[in-house]
Amino acid sequence: MYSRAYKTIVSLPPLLWVGFFLLVPYALMFAHSFWLVRDGFLVHEWNLRNYAKLFQNPVYLDVLLRTMRIAASVTFLSLLLAYPLAYFMSFHAGVRKELLYQLVIVPLWVSYLVRGYAWKTILGSDGVLNGFLQYLHITKEPVGFFLYSPFAVVLMLTHIYTPFIFLPLYASLEHIPRNLIEASQDLGASPRKTFFRVILPLSLPGLLAGATFAFVLTLGDFLGPLLVGGPSSIMIANIVQSLFGTAYDWPLGATISMCILLLTVSLLFFTERLEKRWSNR
Amino acid sequence: MSQASSSVPPSSVAVPPAGGGILLEVRNIAKRFGNREVLKNIFLEIGAGEFLTLLGESGSGKTTLLRLIAGFEQPASGEIWMGGKRLDTLPAYRRRVNTVFQHYALFPHLTVQENVAYGLRVTGTASAEIPSRVEEALRMVKMLEYSAVRPSKLSGGQQQRVALVRALVNRPQLLLLDEPLSALDANLRKQMQGELKALQREIGITFLFVTHDQDEAMALSDRIALLRNGALEQVASPREIYACPATSYAAQFIGQTNLLRGEIRDGVAVCGSLRWPFVTLPNGPAIFSLRPEAIRFSCDAALPSGSVRFRATIREQVFSGSSEQLEIDCAGQSLRVRIPARGVLFGEHEFAFSPVDVVAVRD
């Protein structure tokens, strides 16, 4: 079909891009995780001390577990919000489908920071929510735990990542041939049975893809805790950030990054296998 | 239907042949999509055990009528009754009606066996009973060995068979078939037609079959309901609809025909240079249908007495094995003729037809 030279020329730019901006940085990170810092200087001395530190100091594992807990909560809550929305839009929205779809997309155009600060003004002690509660005399004093808490982080990240679950979910619901739903009713299945026996199983690949998005993105999030989380909601990416920044311990930062990378890649690998099995039939 | 006194038989009365009783009654059904009238005042009765075909071009409303009976659409007005009970007010899943969908609509996430078992499962059939009924159903269409296979691995004909038994396993009173054979290639289609007809005879369930293919309708049906622009044109057995089409549309849609526009003057039909006795209609303009095979080559065999003879020039001749298709010109009037094969013909010849083969049709 195409000559070898043509293929080479066409594939070279993306290969170079991936090489320079992905593979080389990963290799550097991998190398760093085996080096160490002595007296404020990076020493290229191969060792496994960073990995040992990771398992000796309980802080890192604690934070990693908390991060995964937060990611799981965000994923679960986003699913809870996104599934009914996607279901309604796909099956019952009729002509308003397009408009609603745009409304779901619009928040994605707003800067992450802006949305973070918006939550600050809503949740803060003199924020909108507290003001409202006091105005209604539900609370006498501002409620403190709204902001700078894991609650705030989960709330904000749920808001941010719900569209990421919604989009693949909606796409998979839209792809369900409508005659399957008619066939199910025709064979005597009530709407509820049709949902659990046809719609839900057929939307699983989209659900899984969305859940993976939300989980992985939350896992690597550091702005959420920075903006609305307190010390009790530090996440693993915050630790990496401080290790590469103020703490100046690149090797340890790289080690943690490698662990997150491994976790994410194995998760993606696993979900992709599952997704293939569910959609390949 | 106003010309009750004409030679047009009362074939448009939508009553099934005697025996068996009436299973389904469509009473004055109308349906609109937006301001487009898809179905106009449809009256139709389907007898128990009957194989009735809804025949029509695309857009004639045949699929809409099927979907109304299945419960996927709601009528704008009118009622549907089945076995003495009102059907159109029930949701689709409460109707004892099952459908074979045009593109089969098999569940891709379930195996063949699970697809067939679906209807039994969701309607709460005793789970001990399910495997044997599924097995029996799959054996009936020779698909038992594919039980554990997913539909995507099956050929079109195999999917067709699975879709058929999936719809039959609930033992519906009425089976709806929405152009089930249209996605199959010609050979398989012929074969499936035969299987379908044999199956219907064997199990005795009433079939309501939708198609746009008149040959298919002729081959399968006890009666054909011909739809045109949302209205019933004629409901009759294939033989009757062919021999005595009620309208010019029915005459043209089912088989080939020559439509002759002329008039009736005191018991004589006049159409160009042709005239023949026609006593059953009053004076006035009329349209006549004359099938190509009803026109004979007058030197062929003995002509029945009273035959109308005329001379015509042969314009075109197409040989098709056992017969010849001719296009002849009779004083400016073009006619199609089908005669037994008899070699190449030229020039002017004498043709004849019997007046009893001419049918007056409505426009």
Q: How large is the ipTM?
A: 0.82
Check if the beta carbon of residue B73 is closer than 8 Å to that of residue B67. yes
- pLDDT tens digits along B96-126: 999 999 989 999 999 999 999 999 999 988 9
The answer to whether the CB atoms of A186 and B166 lie below 8 A apart is no
The answer to whether the CB atoms of A182 and B97 lie below 8 A apart is no
pLDDT of B3 strictly over 80? no
- Helix residue ranges per DSSP H, chain A: 4-18, 24-32, 49-56, 58-92, 97-109, 112-123, 128-135, 150-174, 178-186, 191-194, 200-219, 223-228, 236-244, 250-279
pLDDT value, residue B13: 45
- Which residue bears the tokens 């039939």? A281
- Which residues numbered 78-107 in A keep a CB inside 8 Å of some CB on B? none
Average pLDDT of the residues of chain B: 88
pLDDT value, residue A214: 93
| Chain A interface includes B187 (CB < 8 A) | no
| Chain A interface includes B122 (CB < 8 A) | yes
Contacts of B348 (CB under 8 A, 6+ apart): B311, B312, B313, B314
Angle at Cα A121 formed by Cα A116 and Cα A123, nearest 5°? 90
The answer to whether the CB atoms of B93 and A189 lie below 8 A apart is yes
Token pair for A34: 């085996």
* Cβ atoms within 10 Å, residue B343: 7
pLDDT of B8 strictly over 50? no
d(CA A93, CA A170): 12
> Quick one: which of B162, B188, B165 has its CA closest to B108?
B162
Residue to substitute from B64, B72, B103, B111, interface A, most A β-carbons within 10 A = B72
End-to-end CA distance of chain B: 12
* Residue B87, SS3 per DSSP: coil
* Residue B322, SS3 per DSSP: coil
Check if the beta carbon of residue B286 is closer than 8 Å to that of residue B359. no
Residue to substitute from B33, B63, B93, interface A, most A β-carbons within 10 A = B93
Contacts of B144 (CB under 8 A, 6+ apart): B135, B138
| Chain A interface includes B150 (CB < 8 A) | yes
The answer to whether the CB atoms of A186 and B122 lie below 8 A apart is no
| Chain B interface includes A188 (CB < 8 A) | yes
Mean pLDDT of B196-206: 89
Check if the beta carbon of residue B27 is closer than 8 Å to that of residue B3. no
Whats the size of chain B, residue-wise?
363
Instruction: Tell me which residues of chain A have a pLDDT lower than 50.
Output: none
Check if the beta carbon of residue B72 is closer than 8 Å to that of residue A182. yes
- Amino acid making up residue B76: A
pLDDT value, residue B330: 86
pLDDT value, residue A11: 92
DSSP string of B13-32? S--PPSSS-EEEEEEEEEEE
- pLDDT tens digits along B242-283: 999 999 999 999 989 999 999 998 888 988 888 898 888 888
Given CA atoms A144, A148, A151, A156 in this order, what sign does their dihedral have? positive
d(CA B100, CA B58): 18
- Which residues numbered 224-263 in A keep a CB inside 8 Å of some CB on B? none
d(CA B314, CA B321): 19
The answer to whether the CB atoms of A179 and B105 lie below 8 A apart is yes
d(CA B178, CA B326): 36
- pLDDT tens digits along B311-358: 899 999 999 888 889 999 988 889 999 988 888 888 888 899 998 899
d(CA B338, CA A239): 91
CB-CB neighbors (< 8 A) of A182 in chain B: 70, 72, 92, 99, 101, 105
Mean pLDDT of B63-88: 94
The answer to whether the CB atoms of A183 and B92 lie below 8 A apart is no
Beta bridge mates, B326 = B317, B337
**Interface size, chain A vs chain B, as Cβ–Cβ contacts under 8 Å:** 73
- pLDDT tens digits along B26-39: 999 999 998 889 99
Shortest Cα distance from B64 to chain A (angstroms)? 14
Q: What is the pLDDT confidence band of residue B6, given thresholds at 50, 70 and 90? A: very low
CB-CB neighbors (< 8 A) of A189 in chain B: 93, 118, 122
Residue to substitute from A186, A199, A277, interface B, most B β-carbons within 10 A = A186
pLDDT value, residue A73: 96
Q: How far lies A277's CA from each of A83, A215, B19, B71, B109, in Å?
A: 21, 21, 53, 34, 10
pLDDT value, residue B12: 43
pLDDT value, residue B184: 81
pLDDT of B294 strictly over 70? yes
